[in-house]
Amino acid sequence: MKTIFKQNTLWACAACLLIMSGCTKEFQSLNTDPSKVTQTQATGDLQNIGGFLPDMQENIASPVDYIYQIQQNLNADIFSGYMASPDYGFGPNNANYFMRYDWNSQAFDLGNQHIMNNWKQVKQKARPQDQHFVAIALILKVEAMHRITDIYGPIPYSQYGTGNFYVPYDSQQAIYSQFFKELDTAVNVLSTYVKTYPGATPFKAFDLFYNGDYKQWLKFANTLRLRLAMRIVYVDPATAQAQAEKAVADPNGLLSAVGDDALLNMTNGLTYQNALWNITNAYQDISMNATMQSILEGYSDPREGAYFLKSGYNGGYVGIRSGLDITTPVYINFSLLNVSAGTPMQIMSAAESYFLRAEGALRGWNMGAGTAQSFYEQGITMSFQDKGVPMPANYLTNATGTENNYVDPVDATNNIAALNNITIAWSNGATFQQNLQRIITQKWIAIYPDGQEAWSDFRRTGYPKIFPVKVNHSGGTITTAGFVKRLPYPSDELATNPKGVATGVTALGGADNGGTRLWWDKNPLVAN
């Protein structure tokens, strides 16, 4: 890690100070800077509200390397089994369960500074005819903040910006309930707008995802609802089913085709270098995880080459086992990520919707025309198409390939036997858990590199089985068999909002450490 310290980059909008009227009728025009945009002009082209929305889009998964690194890369991307760090200068850290506070505050801070604050500005400034912009802000708010509550648990949400002496935290149950209501509002507003003004794209100048196409935003909102519904299946199955069926039944549809992916595109003046490209190439701080290597190679999956680069060992791909005490640069020649500077940051993959529907159908829910098997196979096919990798003719019917054992070419003490014995081919005679493991394992492969969603799925289902850390520096707060359940609250939040944090810990129902399960993390088959 070459730049790891938290960057508190705060931006503020300059306020226009209106002075008393002058001696002549021409005073206002004479004292107006012609190079500045007036409030009237800004309102006319919607800059006064639209200008807040690109910042929301950019901070769901920041393209800035040093921000993304501690927003997601040094936690969820590792905890998910996707990536591991070869860096020998970190010392005890998140990867071996020593929760470093300087690594664990960025997501929380971004949520307050760039998501909640911008949403509040849009809501306050929007006129009645601008509610379609508020709808977009709501979708972005839910997309960004569900990631943050799924990292920490209870967070400030409903009372954000109320001006109280301290900000109380909402329980996750309350937050998820509000998420569904906010998506209701957004979908209703955008649906009405599209019917009233077909083809209109007032958001185009501010849209970094879909070029102003509200039909795509509706698909995104519905897929997000389906994701959140599945998240709560083990704690509130009735609401989970109702919300999932609602998402699928909406006539606006789901993300389901090549080109539907939600990506942070370089448009409307936005240029950047993909954060993962800098972290893996310039910093050489992140590499392939051993679990990724073992599963992809056990399946002879050609997506391995689309995701990772070959290592310096025998011309093959080699991942690093998580949770090692690395003190020398022995792992710098292991496989780096195959990502270019111009690769857009991925927010949501269209393939995800098929795996969500497959799981819903497996549970007996009405997921539309199709079966658990057909949705599962469509998700795999979509992933290969989306990644631009030809799918082997026998991939879907492969009933023999399973995860490989892991062999560390530089230290045999890190070797570990395969944990997953599930094959690719669907089996109607398999148990519920076996087919659920198939769905989640292929979903895990397909949505790469979204480590945040993969980590949440792993905590929820226990799949795919990930190699445990070799060294556990948590001091007993996180079990090796149970893995990391959450991140502790940031130290600056503990200092500035201690009463609020106390309400969060109470709602959490356990200690403020990495071993306490979240509200929705109630699968009895997943280890504590």
**Tokens, residue 431:** 């148990």
Confidence at residue 1, expressed as pLDDT on a 0 to 100 scale: 52
Q: Is the pLDDT reported for residue 145 higher than 90? A: yes
Confidence at residue 161, expressed as pLDDT on a 0 to 100 scale: 82
SS (HEC) of 64-104? CHHHHHHHHHCCHHHHCCCEECCCCCCCCCHHHCCCCHHHC
145-163 mean pLDDT = 94
Q: Is the pLDDT reported for residue 34 higher than 50? A: no
Q: Is the pLDDT reported for residue 261 higher than 80? A: yes
Banded model confidence at residue 89, pLDDT cuts 50, 70, 90: confident
Q: Is the pLDDT reported for residue 43 higher than 90? A: no
Q: Is residue 42 part of a domain?
A: no
Q: How many C-beta neighbours within 10 Å does residue 187 have?
A: 22
Which residue pairs from 210-216 have beta carbons closer than 8 angstroms and sit at least 24 positions apart in sequence?
A: 210/262, 211/265, 211/267, 214/132, 214/190, 215/252, 216/260
Total domains in the chain come to: 1
Percentage of the chain beyond pLDDT 90 is 88
**For 6-10, 101-105, 143-147, 362-366, which range has the lowest pLDDT when averaged over its residues?**
6-10
Residue 263, SS3 per DSSP: strand
* Residue 331 vs residue 25, higher pLDDT: 331
| Residue 224: CATH number of its domain | 1.25.40.390
- CB-count burial class (<10 Å; 0-12, 13-18, 19+) for 88: middle
Residue 528, SS3 per DSSP: coil
Total H helices, total E strands in the chain: 21, 4
| Domain residue limits at 403 | 47-277+338-508
Q: What is the mean pLDDT of the chain?
A: 92
Distance CA 45, CA 55 (A): 18
Q: How many C-beta neighbours within 10 Å does residue 237 have?
A: 12
* Residue 258 vs residue 162, higher pLDDT: 258
Q: Is residue 25 part of a domain?
A: no
Q: Is the pLDDT reported for residue 175 higher than 60? A: yes
* Residue 22 vs residue 485, higher pLDDT: 485
- CB-count burial class (<10 Å; 0-12, 13-18, 19+) for 114: buried
Q: Is the pLDDT reported for residue 12 higher than 50? A: no
Tens of pLDDT along 201-243?
999 999 999 999 999 999 999 999 999 999 999 999 999 999 9
Distance CA 46, CA 131 (A): 12
Banded model confidence at residue 164, pLDDT cuts 50, 70, 90: confident
The distance from CA 122 to its chain's CA centroid, rounded to whole angstroms, is 23
154-174 mean pLDDT = 92
* Residue 441 vs residue 101, higher pLDDT: 441
Confidence at residue 454, expressed as pLDDT on a 0 to 100 scale: 98
Confidence at residue 5, expressed as pLDDT on a 0 to 100 scale: 35
433-442 mean pLDDT = 98
Q: Is the pLDDT reported for residue 4 higher than 80? A: no
Confidence at residue 31, expressed as pLDDT on a 0 to 100 scale: 41
Tens of pLDDT along 485-499?
999 999 999 999 999
Q: Is the pLDDT reported for residue 146 higher than 90? A: yes
Diameter over CA atoms, the chain: 88
Phi, psi of 517 (to 5 degrees): -75, 150
Q: Is residue 24 part of a domain?
A: no
Q: Is residue 302 part of a domain?
A: no
Contact 361, 370 (CB under 8 A): yes
- CB-count burial class (<10 Å; 0-12, 13-18, 19+) for 144: buried
Instruction: Write down the pTM of the prediction.
Output: 0.92
Q: Is residue 311 part of a domain?
A: no
Banded model confidence at residue 29, pLDDT cuts 50, 70, 90: very low
Confidence at residue 6, expressed as pLDDT on a 0 to 100 scale: 34
307-329 mean pLDDT = 95
Q: Is the pLDDT reported for residue 376 higher than 50? A: yes
Q: Calculate ∠ Cα 145-445-522, nearest 5°.
A: 50
Banded model confidence at residue 44, pLDDT cuts 50, 70, 90: low
Q: Is residue 284 part of a domain?
A: no
Confidence at residue 163, expressed as pLDDT on a 0 to 100 scale: 74
298-325 mean pLDDT = 96
293-298 mean pLDDT = 98
Handedness of CA 229, 232, 233, 237 (dihedral sign): negative
Q: Is the pLDDT reported for residue 23 higher than 70? A: no
The one-letter code for the residue type at 32 is: T
Q: Is the pLDDT reported for residue 281 higher than 50? A: yes
Angle formed by the axes of helices 214-231 and 451-461, nearest 10°: 30
Q: Is residue 518 part of a domain?
A: no
Percentage of the chain beyond pLDDT 70 is 92
456-475 mean pLDDT = 98
The one-letter code for the residue type at 3 is: T
Q: Please name the residue that has the structure tokens 């799981």.
A: 359
Confidence at residue 11, expressed as pLDDT on a 0 to 100 scale: 34
Q: Is residue 497 part of a domain?
A: yes
Give the H/E segment covering residue 121: helix 117-125
The distance from CA 525 to its chain's CA centroid, rounded to whole angstroms, is 24
* Residue 323 vs residue 314, higher pLDDT: 323
Confidence at residue 321, expressed as pLDDT on a 0 to 100 scale: 97
